[in-house]
Amino acid sequence: MSWIVLVISGVLEAVWATALGRSEGFSRVAPSIVFAVALVASMGGLAYAMRELPTGTAYAVWVGIGAVLTVAYGMATGEEPVSLVRLLLVLGVVGCVAGLKLTH
């Protein structure tokens, strides 16, 4: 159960990171609210998962999922440049996150 909660929390990290960028310094209300709600839910899920998972593993997986999804969303929307090198580097992060799960 902790792994499922951790993955959902990682997804929510991407949500709050994206909302933070769209809030334009908290000057836009809707993205600011999405940021706050997703941040609290993401941190709560991370804290829950860390009751059973090692701190370093949980944090690395949480950050990795959030980073990969945030970059992928940016690439899909055209806000981030897409290149073969960038895609390979993102896949490297995915591989490292999967490796942490497999070696746990």
Please state the rounded mean pLDDT for residues 41-47. Answer: 98
* Tens-digit pLDDT profile for residues 48-104: 999 999 999 999 999 999 999 999 999 999 999 999 999 999 999 999 988 988 887
Q: Alpha carbon of 1 to those of 6, 17, 66: distances in Å? A: 9, 24, 19
Give the model's confidence band at 30: pLDDT under 50 very low, under 70 low, under 90 confident, else very high: very high
pLDDT at 100: 85
In the prediction, which pLDDT does 101 show? 83
Question: Which DSSP letter does residue 83 get?
Answer: -
* Domains of the chain, residue spans: 2-102
pTM: 0.90
pLDDT band per the 50, 70, 90 thresholds, residue 22: very high
